[in-house]
Amino acid sequence: MTKSHNDYFYFKSACLVAVMFFLAACSTTNARDQEKRWSQAQLYIDLGLRYMEMGNYNVALTKLKKAHALDDENFSGHNALAIFYDTTRNDNLARYHYKRATVLAPENPSVLNNYGRFLCQRGDVKKGFGMLSKATNLPSNHKLWLTYRNAGQCQVLNGNLVLAENNFLQAIEQNDSYGPVFLDLAKLKFSNREFHLAGKYLDQFFTVHVETPAAVLLAYQIAKQLGHLNATEQYKQKLKEHFPASAEAKSLEK
């Protein structure tokens, strides 16, 4: 091999090495940029959800849209936007973002739980309950009680009270201090005219949860059905004194 050929070979090798280093550097830079965008997007997501919890929906939407602009492949961003539009009753946009979140993260329990609940509430019980059932079988689901409760409520809407009760009981088995599911069971038993059992579940609700207008009204209704006149009057007064502006209190004025 002549010297010129050697020079060409070494030059070509050096160029190849340089290209490889350049590509590696670009890859590292892109990865860092992506990580930075993800972190910034996650910050906006957290802020958006926090503002939404406070009822400041305009600021919440601004933050969530910024997150989406930074990283439109972030399933958490789509999930958060879906929750926002779900809460503000924009069903079309909620459905779009829920669908997108499930495409990006088909095995994420939070996405399946939220979308499944949404579908059940909009009448698509079969698909919604299927998603919730799938979420209960995921090892990564660390809030099984919430998923089981949503599955129970889904079956209440479907009229299958036996399956609803089974799911509510599963929720209690996962977390026996989760108050809302006791209220669900109390309502279910009340609708079945099992007033004593309804009262027992409601007592458990009051043990682990603060009083709510709906719970106090149910206590009033149970006491009335059982013929406990003193308790009936006490719950009626409590509802009017503690929750005077509530729809439940106003319902007793009719």
Reply yes or no on whether the pLDDT at 6 is more than 50: no
Residue 117's contacts (CB-CB under 8 Å, 6 or more residues apart) are: 128, 132, 150, 153, 154
Joined together, the tokens standing for residue 5 give 């050929």
Hey, where are the domains in the chain? Answer: 176-254
Helical packing angle, 125-136 and 109-121, nearest 10°: 160
- pTM attached to this predicted model: 0.83
Picking from 34-48, 116-130, 225-239, which range would have the lowest pLDDT averaged per residue?
34-48
192-231 confidence digits (pLDDT tens): 999 999 999 999 999 999 999 999 999 999 999 999 999 9
Position 31 scores a pLDDT of: 57
Query: Would you say 217 and 239 are in contact if contact means Cβ atoms under 8 Å apart?
Result: yes
Q: What is the DSSP string of 82-138?
A: HHHHHHTT-HHHHHHHHHHHHHH-TT-HHHHHHHHHHHHHTT-HHHHHHHHHHHHT-
Reply yes or no on whether the pLDDT at 79 is more than 80: yes
Domain 176-254 has CATH 1.25.40: yes
Q: What type of residue sits at position 127?
A: K
CA 161/CA 201 separation, integer angstroms: 16
Picking from 33-42, 98-107, 144-153, which range would have the lowest pLDDT averaged per residue?
33-42
155-176 confidence digits (pLDDT tens): 999 999 999 999 999 999 999 9
Query: Would you say 147 and 155 are in contact if contact means Cβ atoms under 8 Å apart?
Result: no
Reply yes or no on whether the pLDDT at 234 is more than 90: yes
Reply yes or no on whether the pLDDT at 25 is more than 70: no
Residue 178's contacts (CB-CB under 8 Å, 6 or more residues apart) are: 145, 146, 149, 171, 172, 208
